[in-house]
Amino acid sequence: MPNGNIVVSEEHATRVVTLRRPNKKNAITQDMYREMSRAIDTAQNNPEIRCIIITGGSGVFTAGDDIDDFLKADTARPETLSNAAKFLYSLALNVKPIIAAVDGASVGMGTVLLFHCDYVLASTAATFSAPYINLGLIPVGASSLLMPNTMGYQRAFAMLVMGRTFSAEEARVAGFVNAVVSPGHTEVEARKVAREICRLPAEAVAISRKLLRTPPEQLTRRIDQEAHLFGERLKSNEAVAAFNAFMMRKRR
């Protein structure tokens, strides 16, 4: 891949998308969003690809958005969020089973994207949070729809409104992690799950998955609604103060 921070490989009818920016805890840049979108989109009409795995490698998943990269964009214009928005649309419109392998911290978009996945493996070292509230912001990626549907209103409130972090076991109990494994084993187990899915009848899997999932038009509608409100919140006094405080802490 052009920026080297997203590595795409294929094996046993599975496309593996790896975030590889270890010096920044796999914090996601606009370029990385674009490359992840491309990896998902180009798999859609490829019958040779039956599954997609998203992983951050051993010991980390992602710290979420790269704040420096995010702030370099002109946030007054909607198109500055287009790469992240395109990635969210790619997830919402995707028709291939997606497996996530989380071995370490999963923050912000790292947690949001899991609710678009079909099977999630986490190591005992994994943690999950979506602390947009701490920056005076609101949920993104249809998480305000998917999280309550998946784990119930109260748990969603704790994560999205109170900014609480969930452990791997709490995430499993909440229903958005399928299995918890030892550190360093999430990718191996994800490949096993992918091979299991790939052995099943492809058309039956696709139809069954479609029946189980929230319709894509509902997801994209909520993504757009959240994006509009998110853009408004970026200009709010609360968000401006929170970002200024964040940048001050970074300079110390």
CATH fold of the domain at 6-185:
2-enoyl-CoA Hydratase; Chain A, domain 1 (3.90.226)
Side-by-side strand order, sheet with 51-55:
6-11, 14-19, 51-55, 98-102, 119-123, 179-181
pLDDT reading at 165 higher than 50: yes
pLDDT in tens, 37-69: 999 999 999 999 999 999 998 899 999 999 888
69 CB neighbour count, 10 Å cutoff: 16
136 CB neighbour count, 10 Å cutoff: 16
Q: What DSSP element (H or E) covers 107?
A: strand 105-107
Q: What DSSP element (H or E) covers 37?
A: helix 30-41
DSSP secondary structure letter of residue 65: B
Given this model, what pLDDT does residue 73 score? 62
pLDDT in tens, 88-142: 999 999 999 999 999 999 999 999 999 999 999 999 999 999 999 999 999 999 9
pLDDT reading at 236 higher than 60: yes
What is the bridge-based pairing of β-strands 119-123 and 105-107?
A: unpaired
pTM score, two decimals? 0.94
Burial class (CB in 10 A: 0-12, 13-18, 19+), 183: middle
Domain locations in the chain? 6-185
CA–CA distances in Å: residue 89 to residues 110, 141, 184: 15, 8, 30
pLDDT in tens, 73-100: 644 454 445 799 999 999 999 999 999 9
